Structure 1
């Protein structure tokens, strides 16, 4: 009898342990638990930590709610029908308060069913509104529009868009060559324009200088008077006297007469 009681007690203990194991569950950090009862999704959402459930009737599926990163390379067409390949990095997370709806309506493979197609669709819709050159020069604007459109799509399926980054736009070799030729032509045109402006400025400076010299000459001519001429003649005679060697010429050549001193000192 005693041995029988021990056996029964052991069996009961094992059953209790098994029931405890199968009636408890632990939701990992950064996750939420979707409670299933006989395969049907219940409205209850289990937070992180330890929880009880009905063994063999209820089960728990864990859904990550931390920020997840999705990188992909997408091909689209620009407004001017240039093929462009964009590398896109998207950070998103599942709405913690709607993991049961996400699991029920989409399932655990929401990344391949929702996220990837939404990224491709948003990028193609936005790039079709810009030319290839605008995609390069207006990248922040393009990124903002893609983010807005993608956020709406993900919100519809109980996901939150955290951030998006368009790393680069890659175009065909023919387009890259055309851009390079255009930039070279623009640089040459700019250089020619600058040279023309420089030549124009130099010509204007020369004209201004010539006008200034002409005006100076005109003013000098206005200043030439009879008194000034006589004064200049006197200055010439004074310089001649300074160079006199003591021999007095009776007559000087040229237009300016020399003072005749041959009779000086004779009475």
Structure 2
């Protein structure tokens, strides 16, 4: 009996230790679960908005009226969704097609630099949602409409020769249309502008013809100026001959004849004669060569 009593007491002590160990494990598990719930609750109770961002909180699917700007913001846990929008400059390349005033087809690609107005983020969230929707449903559609407006005001030739004016009209139309959606257009550029190859050749040939016509006008003016110069030279020569005749008549022609004789010797390549025979009272008169 003494032996049995010892065995029984030993078994009871083992059971007590086992129960104490189980209770310790259970308490640790409960503490871990509670700690995880506290951490999860804390994480879902606030949201961090970084610089250059804006957030919109939706509680049970309904967006709150005020946008969240940079900083830490509290929110109801587990029942809210936060949409964060990038407010920095975004850049997208968007295709567009249109017809000109003379019904020529045009295709183009535009690079659009824009940013979202932080004061209209909630409205954008309610109407269009994500940035992908903004680009495809708003910016893409309005780019197409703005290009139609700009292209329809001019012929295809004017589109080519007045490309800067086309871009100016496009920028104005696009800016006005996107502003009401809370999208601020910062800059646009025409990446590519194409039309039919046949029309391209026709325009090139016309430009070449115009250049040739301008060249012909220049040559005609140049010929006219040359003819006028010839007339002026002829008038100058006639005036010189008239003055020469008057000089010969007034002075007997002695000085002029002497000058012409000397000039003839120079231009003819002959040397001045060493022997000259002068007449009586011939001082200042033309010399005669003794042959």
TM range (shorter): 0.7 to 0.9
Identify which of 186, 202, 214 aligns with 2:226: 202
* TM-score normalized with structure 1 length: 0.79
- Report the alpha carbon displacement of residue 223 of structure 1 after superposing the two structures with TM: 3.3
Q: TM-score by structure 2 length?
A: 0.73
Go from structure 1 to structure 2 and tell me whether the alpha carbon gap of 1:154 and 1:228 turns closer, same or farther (over 3 Å shift): same
3-state SS of the aligned residue for 2:115?
strand
Find out whether 1:243 has 2:258 as its counterpart.
Answer: no
Question: In the alignment, which residue of structure 2 is the partner of 1:66?
Answer: 88
Partner residue, 1:249: none
SS at match of 1:73: strand
> Does 2:176 correspond to 1:176?
no
Q: Give the CA deviation at 1:131.
A: 1.8
* Deviations 1:103-145, CA, capped at 9 Å, x for gaps: 1112211211111000010011111101222223332222222
* Contact 1:53-1:59 within 8 A present in 2 as well: no
1:42 is aligned to: 64
* Residue 156, structure 1, aligned to residue 203, structure 2: no
Distance (whole Å) between structure 2 residues aligned to residue 33 and residue 88 of structure 1: 29
* Pairing 1:216–2:240 present: yes
CA 1:243–1:152 in 2, change beyond 3 Å: closer, same or farther? closer
> Structure 1 12/178 Cα, relative in aligned 2: closer, same or farther at 3 Å?
same
Check 1:211–1:63 CA distance in 2 against 1; reply closer, same or farther (3 A cut). same
Q: Distance in 2 between matches of 1:32 and 1:80?
A: 46
Q: How many residues align?
A: 241
Q: Which moved more, 1:175-184 or 1:11-20?
A: 11-20
Aligned: 1:100 with 2:122: yes
Cα distance between partner residues in 2 of 1:199 and 1:11 = 103
Q: Any stretches of 5+ residues in structure 2 without a counterpart?
A: 1-19, 258-276
- Alpha-carbon deviations, 1:175-220, whole Å to 9, x = none? 1111111111112112211221122122112222222222222232
Q: 1:63 to 1:206 in 2, by over 3 A?
A: same
Greater helix percent: which structure? 2
- C-alpha distance in 1 between matches for 2:254 and 2:146: 97
**What root-mean-square deviation, in Å, do the aligned CA atoms of Structure 1 and Structure 2 show?**
2.7
User: Residue 111 of structure 1 corresponds to which residue in structure 2?
Assistant: 135
- Residue 6 of structure 1, CA deviation: 5.2
Provide Cα deviations, 1:37-62, integer angstroms capped at 9, x if missing partner: 11001113222343332112222111
